[in-house]
């Protein structure tokens, strides 16, 4: 390949640049090569694209780099069905890539060459359809504006058969704005430089004079002649002779090759006029004139059939390569990155659970190294998207254990408070549940032989083993008792015992209140 990069990728060993895989070359030019490529996006998204890759010897040249970036910027401003779309530009690892939509088809130059080799001419209706579509795309480029709506004043400067792509869908598209002239370009052509293919240049372009869109109209006029006749407009022994004919405006008309093509003579003559002001003022004006010549343009289906018939073998081979690339890239697509592990902090109270200790400076609970692997799996950080079937039951068990421990701690604290103050009793505001809990957990008091024991009996719960059997008369209310609540029972202290009325009742082993008669007077 002419000017091909040193490290040529292939279907078996693609070159990976950023999120693109670059495969075999399908076209080559002076400063870049066009490759088949695959966009490898997220979530399994894949797309076949065409990647224009700047040759390695130009990748570090500021002038060529600026020209390449200009092409990407200009092409991205043109949105039209008859223009190949620009999708992305990549600068990475000494590579400069222009990513475009992949169009299954063939360039007009190769189609004309195949028709000439087959000794046949292209049907005029097909020619009208192809060139009319190219003119509409070219007009869209001429009318393109920047982000602020200011016209770019774009001139393609290389309207040749190589830069018109005819798809198998029957649509012609303009491509390659690499040498286009526009306002605000990063790259500025040096004085005397000539950009484009000489055989399709207008006289003012050869003379390095200021250009307008009519220079592109001139190039399309030459392409129209060559597509109709499958012959060169300026056939000379060398390039110098061809340039001389262009300057002297020695053009040829289609009827000189085939008389039946005379209706096209007027359009070719006007498009290739020596003076710019005598040409069609716009590509759109030329397209309208071509479509009204009296030869109806072929439909997209007719153009598609013609392209497949003329270049079917090449298209089938390229389709096979594309299909293999798509299959291989699907099979070998890189795995999606695993989600970042997210550690879920446990509550502060979980520090009381045996076997869990805080990790240093993290607040996240971890398991000591001495624990079993099963326990370590419970405290490991949770990764979103991964199943943890055994973790939920263990977590529930840990929470239940925590509740039981907290309940026991509260019961111990209540008992300690009751024992620490002899003048007050835990049963000052009794409930059946709290009394039963305190009785079950508190140690049995030691009875003193002194009379104070009666006082202690009033203020402390009596153990079940030492509780005296209440007198039968205690069930009936005393005649001196002023309490009107018949559901409450009174209790008579032993004879000679000192009575304390703070509180005026005692609690028996069943948690019932017994009012002291002396305290009710």
- 179, part of any domain: yes
Query: 270's torsion region: left (phi>0), alpha (psi -120 to 50) or beta?
Result: alpha
Residue 1 lies in a domain: no
Tell me, yes or no, whether 278 and 396 share the same domain.
Answer: no
* pLDDT band, very low/low/confident/very high, at 498 (cuts 50, 70, 90): low
* Of residues 500 and 390, more confidently modeled: 500
Q: Is the pLDDT of residue 18 over 70?
A: yes
Same domain as 152, residue 267? yes
The answer on 132 and 176 residing in a single domain is yes
Per-chain mean pLDDT for the chain: 74
| 166 and 299 part of one domain | yes
Per-residue pLDDT, 387: 44
**Could you tell me which residues come within 8 angstroms of residue 319 by beta carbon, excluding any fewer than 6 positions away?**
104
268 vs 10, higher pLDDT: 268
Asked whether residue 512 carries a pLDDT value surpassing 80, the answer given is no
Range of the domain at 210: 106-331
pLDDT of residue 180: 59
Name the pLDDT band for 392 (thresholds 50, 70, 90). Answer: low
- 269 and 309 in a common domain: yes
Cβ(167)–Cβ(103) below 8 Å: yes
Sheet with 505-507, side-by-side order of all strands: 489-490, 513-515, 505-507
Q: Is 60 exceeded by the pLDDT of residue 308?
A: yes
The 10s digit of each residue's pLDDT in 312-346 is: 999 999 999 899 888 876 655 444 444 444 444 44
Is there a domain that residue 238 lies in?
yes
pLDDT (tens digit per residue) in 233-252:
987 767 788 888 999 999 99
Give the number of domains in the chain. 3
Q: In the structure, what pLDDT confidence band is assigned to residue 196 with cuts at 50, 70 and 90? A: low
**413 pLDDT band (50/70/90 cuts)?**
confident
318, 460: one domain:
no
Helix H or strand E encompassing 441: helix 432-441
Residue 88 φ/ψ, nearest 5 degrees: -165, 160
What is the percent of the chain where pLDDT is above 90? 35
- pLDDT value, residue 343: 42
Query: Is residue 373 domain-shared with residue 296, that is, in the same domain?
Result: no
pTM of the predicted protein model: 0.60
Residues 140, 167, single domain; the answer is yes
Least confident of 276-280, 291-295, 367-371: 367-371
One domain, residues 173 and 314: yes
467: pLDDT strictly greater than 80 = no
Share of the chain above pLDDT 70, in %: 64
348: pLDDT confidence band, cut at 50, 70 and 90?
A: very low
Which candidate in 70, 88, 117, 158 is catalytic?
Answer: 158
Q: What are phi and psi of 199, to 5 degrees?
A: -70, -10
From the CB of residue 470, how many other CB atoms can be counted at a distance below 10 Å? 14
* Whether residue 158 lies in the annotated active site: yes
Residues 433 and 488 grouped into a single domain: yes
**Do 327 and 288 reside in the same domain of the chain?**
yes
Per-residue DSSP letter, 342: B
């Amino acid at each position: 390949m002419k000017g091909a990069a040193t490290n040529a990728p292939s279907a078996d060993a693609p070159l990976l640049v950023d999120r693109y895989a670059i495969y075999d070359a399908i076209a080559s030019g002076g400063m870049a090569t066009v490759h088949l490529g695959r966009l490898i996006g997220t979530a399994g998204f894949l797309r076949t694209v065409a990647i224009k890759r700047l040759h390695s010897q130009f990748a570090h040249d500021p002038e060529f780099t600026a020209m390449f970036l200009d092409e990407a910027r200009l092409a991205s401003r043109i949105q039209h069905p008859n223009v190949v779309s620009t999708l992305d530009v990549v600068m990475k690892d000494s590579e400069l890539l222009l990513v475009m939509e992949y169009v299954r088809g063939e360039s007009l130059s190769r189609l004309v060459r195949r028709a000439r080799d087959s000794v046949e001419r292209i049907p005029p209706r097909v020619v009208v359809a192809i060139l009319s579509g190219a003119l509409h795309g070219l007009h869209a480029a001429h009318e393109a504006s920047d982000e602020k709506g200011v016209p770019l004043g774009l001139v393609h400067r290389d309207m040749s058969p190589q830069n018109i792509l005819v798809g198998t869908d029957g649509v012609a598209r303009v491509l390659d704005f690499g040498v286009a002239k526009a306002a605000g370009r990063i790259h500025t052509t040096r004085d005397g430089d000539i950009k484009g293919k000489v055989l399709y240049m207008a006289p003012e372009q050869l003379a390095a004079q200021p250009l307008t869109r009519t220079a592109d109209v001139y190039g399309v006029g030459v392409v129209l002649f060559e597509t109709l006749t499958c012959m060169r407009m300026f056939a000379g022994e060398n390039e110098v002779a061809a340039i001389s004919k262009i300057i002297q405006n020695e053009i040829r008309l289609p009827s000189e090759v085939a008389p039946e093509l005379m209706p096209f003579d007027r359009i070719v003559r006007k498009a290739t006029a020596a003076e710019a002001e005598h040409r069609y003022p716009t590509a759109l004006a030329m397209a309208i004139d071509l479509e009204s010549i009296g030869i109806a343009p072929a439909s997209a289906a007719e153009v598609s059939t013609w392209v497949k018939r003329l270049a079917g073998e090449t298209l089938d081979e390229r389709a096979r390569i594309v299909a293999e690339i798509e299959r291989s890239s699907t099979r070998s697509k890189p795995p999606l990155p695993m989600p970042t592990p997210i550690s879920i902090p446990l509550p502060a109270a979980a520090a009381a659970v045996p076997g869990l200790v805080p990790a240093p400076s993290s607040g996240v609970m971890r398991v000591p190294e001495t624990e079993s692997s099963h326990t370590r799996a419970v405290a490991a950080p949770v990764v979103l998207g991964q199943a943890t079937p055994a973790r939920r039951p263990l977590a529930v068990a840990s929470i239940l254990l925590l509740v039981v421990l907290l309940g026991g701690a509260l019961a111990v604290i209540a008992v300690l408070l009751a024992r620490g103050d002899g003048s007050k009793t835990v049963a000052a505001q009794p409930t059946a549940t709290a009394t039963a809990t305190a009785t079950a957990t508190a140690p049995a008091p030691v009875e003193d032989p002194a009379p104070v024991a009666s006082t202690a009996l009033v203020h402390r719960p009596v153990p079940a083993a030492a509780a005296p059997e209440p007198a039968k008369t205690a069930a009936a209310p005393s005649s001196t008792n002023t309490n009107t609540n018949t559901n409450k029972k009174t209790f008579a202290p032993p004879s000679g015992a000192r009575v304390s009325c703070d509180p005026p009742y005692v609690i028996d082993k069943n948690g019932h209140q017994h009012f002291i008669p002396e305290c009710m007077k």
